Structure 1
């Protein structure tokens, strides 16, 4: 019995590791640097404590014999409060530190020795420079604040990724968009069968209002990002903080908000169609500094015309929306099928369809301790 249980757990662990390794992508940030004294000598054993102020999540590390430290698996964004300390030296505090998704942020510090009074030095930080020696390829990071201000017609990831100069929708540097890698919190949402031009295959898997940050990478040489060629899109979802925060939103468009003329061609009439989106987000603490929740629900309803081509009256096509097939020909075929076989073809002048989409996300984040964090989505 014990051997059977061991085999079962080993198999389960192997499958879990396989799933994790397959769904690779950047979901966290990194903080690294070197700590020295006033003589620029490396300080071994210095303590670095980084606190994510919105959630109280704490990360820490100690420097090695060369004075170097590296903190992995940190939540992107900020601001962070970073404290550097060593016995017998004045503690240094860095505030307003922001981390980018998938990027290594370098924070170096030098400590001054004091024999009488331990003093604290506070330094106001700034956002990470784009010119970093630790970059692993051409990357563009788009924060949640930027996504709110960026114009988008379809509320899709492809609109947001245009911020990168290498991107045209889901196509990167002229490549086929279906070969682009798309992940949300490390999970793969690619168009694996290539049955359409969209990525992901069924459209956006979650609402834009549930996304915290997006990273666009071009041919990265980061070992964590594999199994694709060309470009990649890494998105991470929002999580709760110590403050209860929510939003409600709606978007609406119809045929009256769309132009009816392109160049010299006039479409003469606009088919009746509309697009309505309703949604909300809510996040906050369950246990302060310990357990957090975030949720998003969005419903989209789009009654529209799925075929815009129409029959002509004189057999002449405009090669835009008018077919060379005449209305009389279609009526003749329809009458024949009805009279001969009792089959009703339906309308040949209107092709309405009602397309709906429900998206939802629920996320829990648990700060187990300084070294262990758990996220469930």
Structure 2
């Protein structure tokens, strides 16, 4: 293979791989901590192994001279941490659930003994964030799956968080955005930033992203999302409002999928205030359907996840037009009678008879 071809291939890898690694820093999680012995003294050189329970992926590091270690850029999921050093018992911590953008502190208390002896601690990571001053809230995977969503757009759940208020203004358009509008900590609805797997997807003009139907389809593909309301860390920017940081689902060592179809139509709806009481409800039909599938390509190494979601909506509306009254049709106006030309009468007949 010629040198020119090698340079070209390396350039392709750099263009497509390096940006993914850089963007992923704001959507990933971190495990960090300190290794100490029974006397409280720091222990350097401890081999720390972090394993994703769902995918089997493993990351390793070593504690530094101050006993500190950190494993960044971890995908959200369930993890276990194992620490080993000659002359000490192996320490294992399981039951760690990492969420998008979180930093979990896992300190390692080492005890003198043989390395074949293993101390296992099982427990969830603390819910209180002690490593950052950022004010944020998490909408978990369970919340996204279990709560009913009109339109199945994940950004509709943003108002569950403190300091987030739905903000409806003007008609949706390309400049104002077509997605759900909301204000974070009193800011304008066009001052928020939206990230998906670390990539900025904010609508043109700073508005909420959304399709022509005004929704963000693909709820089944969203694992969870985080809303930062104030005190953002340095890796976030371009926003004086809130940061909505979402991460997509991924495949695991187990094949899993779903098939769904949601139906809503006028037969199941009640009349609204503007619908005529003696006429049928305007026709309305909405179908949301799709399927998802994820699993391993090569166990513990390569995975896939795909999702398709479709929306078909046919909507009828009740309008209240202004039409000529019965007196006006006969030429009896408020300022006095007028003669209705014979050529005009057929056009007046096109208007519906006004309701009392």
TM-score (norm. length: structure 2): 0.78
Partner of 1:181: 193
Residue deviations 1:155-190, cap 9 Å, x none?
112322122122124321232222211111112221
Match of 1:94 in 2: 93
Are the equivalent residues in 2 in contact too, given 1:189–1:200 (CA < 8 A)? no
Q: Distance in 1 between matches of 2:48 and 2:151?
A: 44
Verify the 8 A CA contact 1:35 1:109 in the aligned structure 2. Answer: yes
Which residue of structure 1 lines up, in the alignment, with residue 145 of structure 2? 148
1:281–1:295: 8 Å Cα contact kept in structure 2? yes
* Conservation of the 8 A alpha-carbon contact between 1:84 and 1:93: yes
Rounded Cα–Cα distance in structure 2 between residues aligned with 1:334 and 1:27: 66
* Change in 2 beyond 3 A, CA 1:83/1:297: same
Aligned to 1:42: 42
- Tell me how far apart the structure 1 counterparts of residues 248 and 211 of structure 2 sit (CA, whole Å): 20
What is the CA deviation profile of residues 45-93 of structure 1, one whole-angstrom value per residue up to 9, with x for unaligned ones? 1111111111101112111111111100111121x12111111100011
CA distance in 1, matches of 2:37, 2:16: 47
Contiguous gaps of at least 5 residues in structure 1:
317-331, 337-346, 350-377
- Answer whether contact 1:24 1:225 (CA < 8 A) is retained: no
Q: For residues 224 and 348 of structure 1, do their structure 2 counterparts lie closer, same or farther at Cα, with a shift above 3 Å needed?
A: farther
Matches within 5 A, 1:48-59: 48-59=48-59
The question of whether the paired residues in 2 share the 8 Å contact of 1:24 and 1:224 is answered with: no
Equivalent residues of 1:30, 1:105 under 8 A apart = yes
| Structure 1 equivalent of residue 118 of structure 2 | 120
2:299 matched to 1:291?
no
2:323 and 2:351 in contact (8 A); partners too:
no
Number of aligned positions between the proteins: 315
TM superposition shift of 1:315: 5.8
Task: Tell me what 2:230 maps to.
Answer: 219
Residue 26 of structure 2 aligns to a residue whose secondary structure is coil
Shifted more, 147-156 versus 62-71: the winner is 147-156
Q: Take 1:87 and 1:8, find their aligned partners in 2: how far apart are those partners? A: 43
Corresponding residue SS for 1:101: coil
CA distance in 1, matches of 2:259, 2:325: 50
Residue pair 2:286, 2:312 contacting (<8 A) in 1 also: yes
The answer to whether residue 183 in structure 2 is matched with residue 199 in structure 1 is no
Deviation at 1:257, TM superposition (A): 2.9
Q: Which runs of structure 2 are paired with 1:238-317 in the superposition (5 Å)? A: 238-262=249-273, 268=277, 269-305=280-316, 308-312=318-322
**What SS class does the counterpart of residue 161 from structure 1 fall into?**
helix
**Unaligned stretches of 5+ residues in structure 2:** 167-181, 327-343
SS at match of 1:151: coil
Cα separation, 1, equivalents of 2:159 and 2:31: 28
1:107 pairs with 2:119: no
| TM-score normalized with structure 1 length | 0.74
Question: Displacement of 1:36 after TM fit?
Answer: 0.2
Distance 1:19 1:149, change over 3 A: closer
Q: Aligned pair in 2 of structure 1 residues 12, 101: CA closer, same or farther (>3 Å)?
A: closer
Q: Is the 8 A contact 1:177 1:199 kept in 2?
A: no
Determine helix, strand or coil for the equivalent of 2:45.
coil
Change beyond 3 A, Cα 1:206–1:254: closer
Separation (CA, whole Å) in 2 of partners of 1:165 and 1:152:
19
Decide whether aligned partners of structure 1 residues 313 and 55 sit closer, same or farther in structure 2, where only a CA change above 3 A counts. same
Distance 1:223 1:148 in 2: 31
Cα distance, 1:118 vs. partner? 4.0
Deviation of 1:295 after TM superposition, in Å, equals: 0.6
